[in-house]
Amino acid sequence: MSIAAQIAAINKELENTKATLVAVSKTKPNEDIWEAYEAGQRIFGENMAQEMTEKHEALPKDIKWHMIGHLQTNKVKYIAPYVSLIESVDSLKLLQEINKQAVKNKRVIDCLLQIYIADEETKFGLGFDEAIEILRSEELTQLTNLRICGLMGIATNTDNEKQIKEEYYELKTFFDGVKLSYFRKDEHFNILSMGMSADYKIAIDQGSTLVRLGSTIFGKRVIKHWKNN
Ligand SMILES: *Cc1c(COP(=O)(O)O)cnc(C)c1O
């Protein structure tokens, strides 16, 4: 199927769900992004600051760019002027740098906290208790130019659907608890980003509002597998 046909098919699948599509275009050329764009897609996900910035400069300005990969603090300045959502925040230090760059750019930057739910050593993210510690911290109240809009998680890369379901269920439960405890009056905290090509149907059943699909739309990536990036 063409990129355009894949986008149409996925949007059809998402029609009666709460989930929105992020087209993960990392490693893919601008021609592929153009094809998705012309099919109506506006949200794209990238995992490298430099690659995302080059694409942002070359492509239409109404694209919403989501950073979905581990972000080093010294790279925040490159994406701060334009990034739409940083999905992969995994430390207070990173939040502080994002806020600093947001102030410089006179904007408010939307962020998700990435929560570690997988049964694997290689994934970035905060433990449940670490996330709570950030949400309760005095420091967070001083970060006036960012908005925590929800949580993101990556399930274990496994064929065991029961395990994936349990991991996403846990994240959804945690999300509901965090919303009640810390964001009860904040309508911006409403994004639960979970689900990739291999497991997005399970993620949607568990309450995902944002699915991040790469290979389903653009075909296999020839470069190394995402989890080794
Ligand atoms: C690469 C990547 C995706 C997309 O993976 P596919 O299996 O190609 O759909 C989703 N989320 C994150 C965080 C990624 O790095």
Give the model's pLDDT for residue 73.
98
Confidence band for 169, pLDDT divided at 50, 70 and 90: very high
* Residue of minimum CA distance from atom 13 in ligand 1: 68
Pocket flag, ligand 1, residue 24 (CB < 6 Å): yes
Measured torsion, CA atoms of residues 107, 96, 193, 172, in degrees rounded to the nearest 10: -130
State how far the Cα of 129 lies from the Cα of 84, in Å rounded to an integer.
27
Give the model's pLDDT for residue 222.
78
Confidence band for 229, pLDDT divided at 50, 70 and 90: very low
Give the model's pLDDT for residue 185.
92
Pocket flag, ligand 1, residue 195 (CB < 6 Å): no
* CA-22 nearest atom, ligand 1: 10
Q: Which residues fall within 8 angstroms of residue 116, CB to CB, at 6 or more apart? A: 123, 124, 125, 126, 127, 153
Residue 10, pLDDT > 80, answer yes
- Please tell me the distance between residue 172's alpha carbon and the centre of ligand 1 in angstroms: 19
* Residue of minimum CA distance from atom 15 in ligand 1: 226
Among 104, 33, 51, 66, which Cα is nearest to 223's?
51
Q: How far is CA 121 from the centre of its chain?
A: 20
pLDDT tens per residue across span 44-63: 999 999 999 999 999 999 99
Pocket flag, ligand 1, residue 152 (CB < 6 Å): no
- Please tell me the distance between residue 193's alpha carbon and the centre of ligand 1 in angstroms: 11
Q: How far is CA 130 from the centre of its chain?
A: 19
Give the model's pLDDT for residue 88.
98
State how far the Cα of 123 lies from the Cα of 192, in Å rounded to an integer.
18
Q: Which residues fall within 8 angstroms of residue 229, CB to CB, at 6 or more apart? A: 47, 48, 69, 70
Each domain of the chain, given as residue ranges in start order, spans 3-218
Pocket flag, ligand 1, residue 157 (CB < 6 Å): no
* Residue of minimum CA distance from atom 6 in ligand 1: 214
Give the model's pLDDT for residue 63.
98
* Residue of minimum CA distance from atom 2 in ligand 1: 226
State how far the Cα of 175 lies from the Cα of 168, in Å rounded to an integer.
10
Confidence band for 223, pLDDT divided at 50, 70 and 90: low
* 3-state DSSP assignment of residue 196: coil
> Using an 8 Å Cβ cutoff, are 202 and 164 in contact?
yes
What are all long-range contacts of 126-133, with beta carbons under 8 Å and residues at least 24 apart? Answer: 126/90, 126/91, 128/174, 131/174, 131/178, 132/178
Whole-number mean pLDDT of the chain? 95
Confidence band for 119, pLDDT divided at 50, 70 and 90: confident
Residue 228, pLDDT > 50, answer no
Pocket flag, ligand 1, residue 153 (CB < 6 Å): no
* 3-state DSSP assignment of residue 28: coil
Residue 82, pLDDT > 80, answer yes
Give the model's pLDDT for residue 221.
87
Confidence band for 144, pLDDT divided at 50, 70 and 90: very high
State how far the Cα of 123 lies from the Cα of 185, in Å rounded to an integer.
32
* CA-227 nearest atom, ligand 1: 15
pTM: 0.96
Give the model's pLDDT for residue 171.
98
Strands (E), the chain: 20-24, 43-46, 64-67, 85-89, 109-116, 146-154, 191-194, 210-213
Residue 175, pLDDT > 50, answer yes
* Residue of minimum CA distance from atom 4 in ligand 1: 214
Tell me how long the chain is. 229
- Please tell me the distance between residue 154's alpha carbon and the centre of ligand 1 in angstroms: 9
Q: Which residues of 137-173 are buried (b: 16+ CB within 10 A; e: fewer)?
A: eeebeebebbbbbbbbbbbebeeeeeebbbbbebbbe
* CA-154 nearest atom, ligand 1: 13
Architecture of 3-218 per CATH?
Alpha-Beta Barrel (3.20)
Give the model's pLDDT for residue 121.
78
